[in-house]
Structure 1
Amino acid sequence: MSLVVTGATGHLGRHVIAALLDQGVPADQVVALGRDEERLAGLAALGVTTRQVDYADAEGLAAAFAGADRVLFISGSEVGQRLPQHQNVVDAARSAGVGLLAYTSIPHADTSGLALAVEHRATEEAILASGLPHTFLRNSWYLENYTDQLPTYAEHGTVLGAARDGRVSAATRADFAVAAAAALLLEQPKAVYELGGAGFSLEELATTVGEVLGKEVTYTDLPADELTAALVGAGLPEPFAATLADADLGLARGELYVEPTDLEELLGRPATSLEDALRAAL
């Protein structure tokens, strides 16, 4: 069986390649697609087949998918450009007649009010329209979105947000990757997996960060425009800062919360906890 992983040179993609190999898939059955030649070389050293291709390269995608039984389609990173790029992937998969197209989406993509959900929802609709056998892996937030901020939390003693008491079902990239690999290998995966770990509020995040750091860390809830301004002041580009603030508003509405059932089903165990991820990050 030929398994193709798009976006394989990104953070999630590299974890997926490792997870497939860890789950016993022969390296010669794995095809890693990506743009970064240096990172592709690192994957080739694992014995997998690598092909340099961009989502904007429709012909390259068609060639890369030839003979593929199953494709893990990791969503692109260029917000605002993803829909035409994603359509290229869907068209190439349909032309190649792949047996399963698994797409990494966002929680509740069909109903979410998040700005980030718009392109995911349109991509899911394109996949449905293609008639391809599919599974939607609707990943919630990465725990790394928070663990990567540990130095900032430590310096300022606060977690900033606009999420009120909303809960987020974050999990590590590695856990989402293992789940994606497991779904790709199932004889008949479900059409939709709502994936996330045990939920927590940003106030609970602050408390856990404080326990791990051994100092008091509080949560400061701000209006979305003030959070955007604070993030811009910290050096983030304004559009990205606004997107993060919008995500917090979605978090407040419960749009990044899912039960951990689907993720645990694919992992065969509980997801990595917030505390364990924070301690590992230290």
Structure 2
Amino acid sequence: MITITGATGRLGRLTVAALLERGVPADRIVAAVRTPDKAADLAERGVQVRRADYAEPDTLAAALAGTDRLLLISGSEVGRRVPQHRNVVEAAAAANVGLIAYTGILNSDTSRLALAEEHQATEAIIRESGLPHVFLRNGWYFENYTDNLAPALESGALIGAAGDGRIAAAARADYAAAAAAVLTGDGHAGKTYELGGDTPFTMAELAAELSRQTGKDIAYRDMSEEEYAKALVAAGLPEPYAKVLADGDTGIARGDLTTGSGHLRALIGRPTTTLADAVAAALKG
């Protein structure tokens, strides 16, 4: 039995799909979700749907019952994730889960990103649990950029604070395929995978690719972290979220979000999605 937490999220759904593509019987997949009604389509495909709320430990024992392998997709509530993840890990230990895979952040052990702190703490909790585990340290998603290209296309500029730092981004589906490979394979316990795209790029290179594919002159305008955060707030983002994004760009400039490990390509057995293909897919809508 393979259980996916957060299975109605974008990464979760893609992981369920990847498992099915690998031939895992639908009734051997558990979609552990906070709102089961949102997983009706998964249930129609034969996937087991169970309610599981990271913040409600009482829901987790039943959700994880019979689980052999568990994918713990990190929660979305920044600042609350450590106790929520601890709840899941404790429930997994009580259920004698055979393997727990956790989606953390690239270079978690050395990263100085604000976002890395909760991932570092969660990895420590998992290690202390004694459960066989594997850490899937995901880099940035291409979708972080391609889901909202309209402002850049309208203004003729991408903005950020990443300098000439390189970003080893990949498509969300690439990371889902890697998770499915680990959940269905052997020999992964005790491993840490630094997952990122084959060809890291700079923001200037992203702007150049946008220019090439649209025929528009789009530049990358680099700012200080503070200036970028203010620009994001002016664009309508909540200030705490804007600060997290700006801190992320500073991390890119430091090299926190790049890797040459090749782990993602090795796990999925093919090249990772290219920048050109990611941009083309986004522009097609």
Aligned to 1:195: 195
Contact kept, 8 Å, 1:40 with 1:52, in 2: the verdict is no
Structure 1's 260 and 146: CA in aligned 2 closer, same or farther, altered over 3 A? Answer: farther
2:244 is the alignment partner of 1:243: yes
SS across alignment from 2:226 = helix
2:88, 2:256 → 1: CA distance?
Answer: 27
Aligned to 1:211: 212
2:126 is the alignment partner of 1:123: no
1:162, 1:42 → 2: CA distance?
Answer: 40
Flag structure 2 segments of 5+ consecutive residues without an equivalent. none
2:52 is the alignment partner of 1:53: yes
1:263 CA drift (Å): 0.4
2:95 is the alignment partner of 1:96: yes
1:260, 1:153 → 2: CA distance?
Answer: 31
Aligned to 1:15: 14
* Match runs of 1:12-161 below 5 Å: 12-161=11-160
Aligned to 2:265: 264
Aligned residues: 281
1:38 CA drift (Å): 3.1
Contact kept, 8 Å, 2:36 with 2:49, in 1: the verdict is no
1:65 CA drift (Å): 1.0
2:256, 2:229 → 1: CA distance?
Answer: 19
1:159, 1:260 → 2: CA distance?
Answer: 28
2:261, 2:109 → 1: CA distance?
Answer: 19
SS across alignment from 1:51 = strand
2:213, 2:133 → 1: CA distance?
Answer: 40
1:169 CA drift (Å): 0.5
- Residue by residue, what CA displacement relative to the aligned partner does 1:205-231 show, whole Å, maximum 9, x if unpaired? 111111111111101000000000000
Aligned to 1:280: 281
1:51, 1:32 → 2: CA distance?
Answer: 6
2:163, 2:141 → 1: CA distance?
Answer: 19
SS across alignment from 2:109 = coil
Letter in 2 for 1:192: T
1:59, 1:170 → 2: CA distance?
Answer: 37
TM-score by length of 1: 0.98
Letter in 2 for 1:60: T
Letter in 1 for 2:139: S
Contact kept, 8 Å, 1:160 with 1:222, in 2: the verdict is yes
1:260 CA drift (Å): 5.3
SS across alignment from 1:4 = strand
Letter in 1 for 2:260: E
Single out whichever of 181-190 and 47-56 deviates more from structure 2: 181-190
Work out the percentage of aligned pairs sharing the same amino acid. Answer: 56
2:144, 2:52 → 1: CA distance?
Answer: 27
1:158, 1:35 → 2: CA distance?
Answer: 39
2:168, 2:251 → 1: CA distance?
Answer: 12
Letter in 2 for 1:195: L
Contact kept, 8 Å, 2:158 with 2:219, in 1: the verdict is yes
2:107, 2:74 → 1: CA distance?
Answer: 16
1:39, 1:17 → 2: CA distance?
Answer: 14
Aligned to 1:171: 170
1:111 CA drift (Å): 1.5
TM-score by length of 2: 0.97
Contact kept, 8 Å, 1:68 with 1:98, in 2: the verdict is yes
Letter in 1 for 2:59: G
1:129 CA drift (Å): 0.4
Letter in 1 for 2:206: L
